[in-house]
Structure 1
Amino acid sequence: MIRGLYEAHLPVSNLQESIKFYQKLGLELASEQEKLAFFWIVKGESWLGLWESETVNLPYHPSIRHLAFKVEKSEIEKVKEWLESVNIEIRSSFGFSPEMQPLVFKNNPHHAAVYFYDPDGNSLELITPLDMELPDNEKMMTLVDWKKKHMK
């Protein structure tokens, strides 16, 4: 019955500043109201709601204030360069510095990801699945190290 995620929502302190940020990520503004904006993630399939609020500074936890946007496997190695080209700073995550990303998770399927924040500190991720067939008993590693090990 469930076919995917249609919408997700994040709190923001300045809607206009956040609109500019998410447009830099290439998202299309679908609708804007006084303190609410919706962006298409995939037009007609999924969108992101941004809600301007005075109570944005909630403590971070991955269960809130985190979104992962899927990118194509062929694009994951270009993500850092692209983010830097639009002046978005990559952040350290899981003990991996920005220079070490994309990082690869050990769970199945193996995923490669790059992490950054929006202007309000909401955690954002660009992620792609890599391989469904590999065991999940490895430690996290850089994509460069993962490719050396699995792409022979």
Structure 2
Amino acid sequence: MIQGLYEAHLPVKNMKESIEFYSKLGLELAWRDEDTAFFWIEKEKSWIGLWQGKEFLTPYHPSLRHVAFRVSYEDLKNSLNWLQEIQIEPVPFGSRDSIEPFVRPNQGNASVYFNDPDGNSLELMCFIEVPDRLKNITAKLSIEEWEQLLGGE
């Protein structure tokens, strides 16, 4: 029945600034009106809606104002360079000090985080294959730590 995510929405303060930011990410503007803009994440499959209004003042919480974009593992490994090229600063996740991409073996994914101009939390994320012997690791591992654990696999 469910085939994927159709849309997600985020509040923004300044639509012009937000359109420039999301365009810089390589997303295509699908349409806009006075206080709303939609960008394709995957053309004609999923999009993100930006809504200008006072809701941008809503405090951040992981269940609010967060979107994760799916990327490949190789792109995630290069994500800091890519973000630097488009002049976007990555941010640490949660209590981590590092901005480096990290792996969650027990969840089978890896991530790096950054914010949009309104403090909405954005994430580049990929699925990873986790050998059975590593699926119980709950620590957040750097890419280097992860690849060392994998060894020659």
TM-score tier, shorter chain, comes to over 0.9
Contact 1:15 1:52 in 2 (8 A): yes
Contact 1:65 1:122 in 2 (8 A): yes
Supply the distance in 1 between the matched residues of 2:47 and 2:66 (Cα, whole angstroms). 14
Residue 132 of structure 1: CA displacement? 4.5
User: In the superposition, relative to structure 1, how do residues 62 and 107 fare at CA in structure 2: closer, same or farther (>3 Å)?
Assistant: same
User: In the superposition, relative to structure 1, how do residues 140 and 10 fare at CA in structure 2: closer, same or farther (>3 Å)?
Assistant: same
Structure 1 runs not aligned, ≥5 long: none
Q: State the TM-score, normalizing by the size of structure 1.
A: 0.93
Map of 2:51 onto structure 1:
51
Supply the distance in 2 between the matched residues of 1:66 and 1:39 (Cα, whole angstroms). 15
Supply the distance in 2 between the matched residues of 1:50 and 1:64 (Cα, whole angstroms). 14
Supply the distance in 1 between the matched residues of 2:117 and 2:98 (Cα, whole angstroms). 18
1:118 aligned to which of 116, 119, 124: 116
Deviations 1:70-117 (A, max 9, x none): 001221111110001111000011333345x111113232x1111000
Contact 1:106 1:137 in 2 (8 A): yes
Contact 1:29 1:39 in 2 (8 A): yes
Map of 2:104 onto structure 1:
105
- AA aligned to 2:78 is K
Residue 137 of structure 1: CA displacement? 1.7
Map of 1:130 onto structure 2:
128
- AA aligned to 2:119 is G
Supply the distance in 2 between the matched residues of 1:124 and 1:20 (Cα, whole angstroms). 16
Percent identical among aligned pairs is 45
Structure 2 runs not aligned, ≥5 long: none
Which structure 2 residues correspond to residues 132-151 of structure 1 after superposition, within 5 A?
A: 132-134=130-132, 135-138=134-137, 139-151=139-151
- AA aligned to 2:92 is S
Question: What SS is found at the alignment partner of 1:55?
Answer: helix
Supply the distance in 2 between the matched residues of 1:151 and 1:48 (Cα, whole angstroms). 38
Contact 2:105 2:130 in 1 (8 A): no
Q: Superposition RMSD on alpha carbons, in Å?
A: 1.3
Contact 2:102 2:112 in 1 (8 A): yes
